[in-house]
Structure 1
Amino acid sequence: MPSQREMLGDRRGAVRLLLLASLLGLALGEVGDFSPCLRFFHGDAPPTGLPAGGRLTPVCQRFKNQYRFASLYDRQRRAPLYSAYLLTPAAGKRPKTHWKYEPQLAFSRGNPEMQVLPKTPDQNVIESQAVLPDYSNSTYTKGHLNPSLHNYDPDDRKATFTLTNVVPQKKGSNGGPWARLEEAVRARLGAFCLGPAHVITGFLPYASGQRWINGRVAVPEYMWSAYCCPSYSASLPRGARPFLPTYAAVGRNDRDSGEEIVPVDPAAKGSGRGYDVRQLPLADLEGVLRQRLAPNVSLFQGQCAGPPPVDPPRNPTGMF
């Protein structure tokens, strides 16, 4: 029978192993816990007050042995409820890369990194998450929550092309008003934000009568986004002052939706008509989310409190 000293030594050894595994991202894993990738959230704190349940799974999106962003994945809807990331504005064309999936959603001991989707996915993968055929023969595009143009590093950009980061989005929105919003946010934060800018972009389901593509992937009625830039230039032009340190937006993904959340511009023309985007203060977006998702939603710890604005460096590049 082992002595008390030996038993204590075994316990200490086990604690050391668990600590080492945690530091390496092994004990907690990339799926089921945000602990390895808290840096993507302001104050290292994920949003609070969102619906709890086993179907909502935290995913630390890992690619080429690095965490790139974080997503809260809804297994039932086979779509992310939101993705959270650090905006580092990119320039250049959309990267050429393969669509990926998350092995650990399908297998508890699966590869900790996102993998390229095979032509014929395993049945466990098909059951656990969206696959490319889900989007085939539908009227929806694969809409990024974390868009590649909000990422500077080439591998960060490639990592956004995973189906755990996209939702069914109408082409008129994805290539129209929502695309213009993404560009406006990229330009605004690139010009005036002097430190990490935290962005959370998400899925707002229908209040009733959920819509699906191919009977498998839920369609958002609206898309929403909010950012937090706690450190920004004191020398803001008047037009930019209302947009910092936080601002938000809601975009229509259904032309036939009512106008109580986002009004329709009657003068809009072309394929983007009816897919309007409403920019609004963070508190107003949280009010919408509290009505449609959960009563106590809070996206940023301390509502993005930070130091006072500071003067920008000489010859700012707009990059972080």
Structure 2
Amino acid sequence: NNFLFSSYLYFLETIFEFGNETDFKDCLRFFYNEKPPTGLVPNSNVKEYQHICQRYKNDSRFATLYHKKSRTPLFSAYILSPSDVPRPDDPWMYEPQVGNKHSVLDDYKNSGFTRGHLAPSSHQNTKEDKEATFTLTNIVPQKEESNSGPWKTWEEKVRKSFKNYCKGEMYVITGVIPYESNTPLINGRVAVPEYIWSAYCCPKYFFPAYGAVGRNDPNSNDKIVREMPLENLESVLKKRMNRKGDGKNASLCN
């Protein structure tokens, strides 16, 4: 009932600390030069989005830009620090900060989509870091064959690049490209993104910055995650999401 659900949310809030716009500065460290990417949000719809400093057990873990209307994140950003700590047993967390503008687990039942992490637990270090990724403001509806197939392969490739080539911090941003029209919804509530993209760079070591983008359309047979130089991905985002500006202020990793 509503009382039990409200009590459950209160309990979760005591464990998972929800930042607001003013304390998002605590999560700027997850962006290279502490500068989040610009131009991804249409000016006319800016009030539909909310910055979330994803805090868990007294520490900031990663950063998210959340779209309340679609009930999905637009992107999550983090510093990659993988380890052999086992994946948690799906301790999914709700977030009172976005009120009724979040998805719920029932939205995904029999939907044909999996709960796709933008900040994956496999890229995190400690048990607490991994647990923090299991918040419903960090997931999007993702095709099952993509989540367990080419995107899993991409995430592992990024891990290997970090291990073999990056001697400093690796910054990662993973996000979505919404449909331009006729957006599919699961359970009539949660928007399915048309594409999922990711970008990473290791600025203190001269290793090229790369990006990738994959189709997430349920009616498409395209299962390939296409890797590309970062500037090519930025061109894709500029075209599809009307990114403004150029140079460092518009770059994902510059």
- TM-score bracket, normalised by the shorter chain, equals 0.7 to 0.9
Corresponding residue for 1:274? 222
Q: Distance in 2 between matches of 1:195 and 1:61?
A: 23
Q: What SS does structure 2 have at the residue aligned with 1:54?
A: helix
Corresponding residue for 2:3? none
Match of 1:212 among 182, 185, 189: 185
> Conserved in 2, the CA contact under 8 Å of 1:37 and 1:70?
yes
Match of 1:48 among 23, 35, 38: 38
2:2 counterpart of 1:32: no
Q: TM-score, normalised by structure 1?
A: 0.68
Match of 1:178 among 121, 143, 151: 151
Q: Distance in 2 between matches of 1:181 and 1:148?
A: 14
Q: 1:180 to 1:300 in 2, by over 3 A?
A: farther
Q: CA deviation at 1:36?
A: 1.8
Superposed, 1:131-280 pairs within 5 Å as 131-232=104-205, 244-254=207-217, 256-257=219-220, 274-280=222-228
> Conserved in 2, the CA contact under 8 Å of 1:69 and 1:83?
yes
Q: CA deviation at 1:94?
A: 1.8
Deviation per residue, 1:253-301 (Å, 9 max, x gap): 12534xxxxxxxxxxxxxxx63110001111111111111123277975
Q: Distance in 1 between matches of 2:152 and 2:248?
A: 24
Q: CA deviation at 1:165?
A: 0.3
Corresponding residue for 1:4? none
Q: Distance in 2 between matches of 1:208 and 1:90?
A: 40
Q: CA deviation at 1:31?
A: 2.3
Give me the CA root mean square deviation.
1.9
Superposed, 1:4-23 pairs within 5 Å as none
Q: Distance in 1 between matches of 2:125 and 2:247?
A: 24
Q: Distance in 1 between matches of 2:248 and 2:188?
A: 34
Q: Distance in 1 between matches of 2:79 and 2:128?
A: 14
Q: CA deviation at 1:97?
A: 4.1
Q: Distance in 1 between matches of 2:248 and 2:88?
A: 30
Q: What SS does structure 1 have at the residue aligned with 2:212?
A: strand
2:65 counterpart of 1:75: no
Q: Distance in 2 between matches of 1:152 and 1:58?
A: 23
Corresponding residue for 2:7? none
Q: 1:101 to 1:297 in 2, by over 3 A?
A: farther
Corresponding residue for 2:10? none
> Conserved in 2, the CA contact under 8 Å of 1:46 and 1:300?
no
Q: 1:68 to 1:202 in 2, by over 3 A?
A: same
- Rg larger for: 1
Q: CA deviation at 1:91?
A: 2.1
Q: 1:302 to 1:32 in 2, by over 3 A?
A: closer
> Conserved in 2, the CA contact under 8 Å of 1:249 and 1:285?
yes
Q: How many residues align?
A: 232
Corresponding residue for 1:6? none
Amino acid paired to 1:105: V
Q: 1:81 to 1:299 in 2, by over 3 A?
A: farther
> Conserved in 2, the CA contact under 8 Å of 1:254 and 1:275?
no
Match of 2:93 among 75, 100, 104: 100
Q: TM-score, normalised by structure 2?
A: 0.85
Amino acid paired to 2:170: A
Runs of 4+ in 1 over 3 A off after TM superposition: 297-305
Q: Matched residues, percent identical?
A: 50
Structure having the larger proportion of residues in strand? 2
Corresponding residue for 2:13? none
Q: 1:91 to 1:298 in 2, by over 3 A?
A: farther
